[in-house]
Amino acid sequence: MAAGLADILVEWPRPVFAVLDGAKYDDLPALLRQVDVAARALFLEYRGNAGVVRAGPHLALLNERRLRNLLRTEGIEGAAVFWRVEEPDEPAFYRHLRTLNLVEIPAPPPAQDAA
């Protein structure tokens, strides 16, 4: 277990939110299934590209058991950001995190006709 991290999180109210970095693992979704932690991908635009989805960030809502399971995962202290939320609203928090991943790329300027 990630000792120092567990000492801090033990005092936090449940549930705890965690965003997990899929790039730190070969297949984060499969690993999370093995440790019985449900998570939602934050990179939905890439559903057609499973590699991007696996390597992208995932949001998990953790009760006591799932938090313990996750903290036993090797290297998790370098692959997770944890949030303590006073009034947990998973759908609202998920939407908020998704907006952080959005960027607008301006359209290229119209082509100039060469005279």
Q: To the nearest 10°, the Cα dihedral for 11, 14, 18, 24?
A: 70
Q: Per-residue confidence of the chain (115 residues) as pLDDT tens digits?
A: 556 888 888 888 888 999 999 999 999 999 999 999 999 988 866 566 778 778 889 999 999 999 999 999 999 989 999 988 777 788 788 887 777 755 566 777 887 766 5
DSSP conformational letter for 42: S
pLDDT at 71: 92
- pTM given for the model: 0.75
Domain ranges of the chain: 3-98
CA neighbor of 35 nearest in space, from 8, 56, 62? 62
CA distance 100 to 103: 8
